[in-house]
């Protein structure tokens, strides 16, 4: 493989920290618990793990190898790896770049909420003893300009990191943020495990009751696997393009998926024992983290500190994901339009900030601006999670399984054994496209 001047992650640890940093985010700590809570707990987890193993890991390998073999972003990778006459594949890459921009626009809003909740925890307001209504607090905050303010602050911090580049920005920040995140996770999990009603929460998460499994469980578990693994839009292709040539692709994909799933499980171990211990409702939906948890922290000894630690955890997890989402657009601008990194960052994050402000205002001044009953925020979320990501993931699996030269795929997957290489290719060719098509159609028409 040719080595070039493209920046590379410098260490094995850096590769793992950056890829796990991208995968671990709001998807694990905010989305997984409420999805699992709504779909019966243990059964959802079991199906989710199956989806990660059979569909998630092969598509992650596919994205990594597209990036590493072409040394380009997804748009460039698809043009470079498609055979002659297959140039329209580039447009599949374009879809990824657009998805990245749209996801970042609403993701930054939720990540901005974590800044507000961190601020309120540190100042003691969140857990102040006077009786209050967490739902009203949440609605009041998201309806106001403070929400826009925190979104912009988050994007500014993100911009500073991304501007510093692959090694001094992304890799360096991930190298210290990820271990810190793991320490915080373990501390919080231990605290939850010693709560009086912990057992009930644990059996909700770990004892699957398969009578709860229906097609909607399977489909949301697959959707969750995709969002959480950051696949389907080329983020992992860009990161793959920064892999040194010695990086083992199948091994890295498995470590990333394993740690990502573990963090989701630990987030469940933090949240469900607390929910059951304080008699709350596990199926509260997206508000679980922002409305149910503050109620719990208020009743807990040392609740203010635990609240601050929890929202700090959520913030760190979100930031390493937003930098990976930004890099998807930045790499495209640098390579396709030959912009310098500074200009590419300014352009990408300028567009994202513009959209993000509209998303943030969707809960207040723009709540009436709807299309088919959805606000701007809802539309961005819906279109990306339900349409762009599944279509993107399916195209990536078809592209690598059927279109890219087989010898290239095989070479990139080495030194994995012949059995593993064949299994990955088999899954990419037959299992992933069909399964993803099922999710896609169900989400659209189900």
Binding site for ligand PHE (CB under 6 A): 22-23, 25-28, 103, 227-228, 230, 233, 235, 321, 324-325
Please give the Cα distance from 166 to 51 (Å, whole number). Answer: 31
CB of 381 to ligand PHE, least distance (A): 12
Q: How far is the CB of 292 from ligand PHE (least distance, A)?
A: 19
Beta strands in 24-122 (DSSP E): none
Instruction: Provide, rounded to whole angstroms, the least separation between the CB of residue 386 and ligand PHE.
Output: 14
Instruction: Give the pair of three-digit tokens for residue 400.
Output: 């690598």
C-alpha distance from residue 401 to each of 51, 364, 396, 429 (Å): 18, 45, 8, 5
Q: Is the Cβ of residue 259 or residue 308 nearer to ligand PHE in the bound state?
A: 259
CA 292 to chain centre: 22
DSSP lists the bridge partners of residue 365 as none
Evaluate the CA torsion angle 258, 261, 267, 269 in order and state its sign: negative
Nearer of residues 103 and 330 to ligand PHE, judged by Cβ: 103
In angstroms, the CA 357 to CA 54 distance is: 38
Tell me which long-range contacts 303-308 makes (C-beta under 8 A, separation of at least 24): 303/127, 304/121, 304/124, 304/126, 304/127, 306/188, 306/191, 307/117, 307/121, 307/126, 307/127, 308/118, 308/121, 308/122
Which residue, 53 or 195, has its beta carbon nearer to ligand PHE? 53
Query: For ligand PHE, which is the closer residue by CB, 27 or 201?
Result: 27
Give min distance, CB of 302 to ligand PHE, in A. 28
Nearer Cβ to ligand PHE (222/425): 222
* Residue closest to 381 by CA, chosen among 156, 158, 144, 108: 108
Q: H/E element holding 364?
A: none
Q: How far is the CB of 232 from ligand PHE (least distance, A)?
A: 7
Minimum CB distance to ligand PHE, residue 21 (Å): 9
99/362 with CB nearer ligand PHE: 99
Q: Which long-range contacts (CB under 8 A, 24 or more apart) does 87-95 make?
A: 89/395, 89/399, 89/403, 92/392, 92/395, 92/396, 92/399, 93/234, 95/233, 95/388, 95/391, 95/392, 95/395
Q: Which is nearer to ligand PHE, 218 or 263 (CB)?
A: 263
Q: How far is the CB of 75 from ligand PHE (least distance, A)?
A: 16
- List 374's β-bridge partners, or say none: 371
Q: How far is the CB of 42 from ligand PHE (least distance, A)?
A: 21
Nearer to ligand PHE, 103 or 334 (CB): 103
* Closer CB to ligand PHE, 25 or 33, in the complex: 25
d(CA 205, CA 270): 11
- Contact predicate 252/413, CB 8 Å: no
Beta carbon of residue 28, minimum distance to ligand PHE (angstroms, whole number):
5
Q: How far is the CB of 236 from ligand PHE (least distance, A)?
A: 8
Name the one residue in this structure whose structure tokens are 């922002």: 290
Residue 359 or 416: which CB sits closer to ligand PHE?
A: 359
What is the nearest approach in angstroms of ligand PHE to the Cβ of residue 235?
4
Measured between its terminal Cα atoms, the distance across the chain in Å is 45
Nearer to ligand PHE, 114 or 247 (CB): 114
Q: Which of 351, 352, 375, 350 is nearest to 364 (CA)?
A: 375
Nearer to ligand PHE, 51 or 300 (CB): 51
Beta strands in 94-205 (DSSP E): none
Minimum distance from CB of 439 to ligand PHE (Å)? 16
Q: Residues near 353 by Cβ (< 8 Å), separated by ≥ 6?
A: 152, 155
Residue with tokens 């073999």: 69
């Amino acid at each position: 493989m040719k080595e070039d001047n493209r920046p590379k992650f410098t260490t094995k640890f850096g590769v793992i920290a950056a890829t796990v940093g991208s995968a671990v985010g709001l998807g694990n700590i905010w989305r997984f618990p409420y999805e699992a809570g709504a779909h019966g707990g243990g059964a959802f987890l079991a199906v989710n793990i199956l989806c990660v193993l059979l569909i998630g890991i092969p598509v992650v390998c596919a994205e990594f190898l597209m990036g590493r073999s072409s040394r380009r972003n997804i748009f460039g990778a698809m043009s470079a790896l498609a055979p002659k006459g297959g140039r329209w594949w580039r447009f599949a890459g374009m879809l990824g770049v657009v998805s990245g921009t749209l996801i970042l626009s609403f993701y930054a809003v939720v990540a901005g909420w974590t800044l507000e909740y961190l601020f309120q925890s540190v100042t003691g307001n969140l857990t102040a003893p006077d009786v209050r209504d967490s739902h009203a607090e949440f609605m009041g905050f998201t309806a106001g300009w403070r929400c826009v303010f925190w979104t912009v602050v988050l994007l500014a911090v993100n911009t500073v990191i991304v501007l510093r580049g692959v090694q001094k920005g992304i890799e360096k920040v991930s190298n210290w943020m990820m271990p810190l995140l793991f320490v915080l996770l373990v501390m919080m999990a231990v605290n939850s495990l010693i709560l009086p009603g912990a057992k009930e929460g644990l059996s909700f998460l770990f004892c699957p009751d398969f009578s709860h499994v229906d097609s909607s469980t399977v489909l949301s578990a697959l959707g969750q696997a995709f969002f959480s693994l950051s696949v389907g839009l080329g983020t992992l292709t860009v990161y793959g393009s920064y892999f040194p040539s010695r990086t083992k692709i199948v091994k890295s994909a498995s470590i990333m998926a394993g740690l990502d799933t573990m963090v989701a499980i630990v987030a469940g171990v933090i949240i469900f024992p607390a929910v059951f211990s304080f008699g709350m409702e596990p199926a509260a939906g997206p508000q679980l983290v922002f409305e149910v948890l503050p109620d719990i922290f208020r009743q807990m000894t040392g609740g203010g500190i635990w609240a601050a630690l929890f929202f700090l955890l959520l913030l760190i997890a979100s930031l390493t994901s937003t930098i990976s989402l930004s890099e998807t657009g930045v790499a495209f601008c640098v390579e396709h339009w030959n912009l310098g990194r500074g200009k590419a960052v300014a352009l990408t994050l300028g567009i994202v900030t513009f959209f993000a402000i509209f998303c943030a205002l969707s809960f207040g001044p723009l709540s009436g601006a709807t299309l088919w009953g959805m606000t701007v925020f809802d539309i961005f979320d819906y279109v990306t999670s339900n349409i762009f990501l599944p279509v993107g993931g399916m195209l990536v699996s078809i592209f690598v399984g059927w279109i890219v030269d087989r010898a290239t795929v095989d070479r990139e997957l080495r030194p994995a054994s012949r059995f593993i290489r064949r299994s990955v290719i088999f899954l990419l060719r037959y299992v992933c496209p069909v399964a993803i098509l099922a999710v896609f159609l169900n989400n659209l028409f189900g």
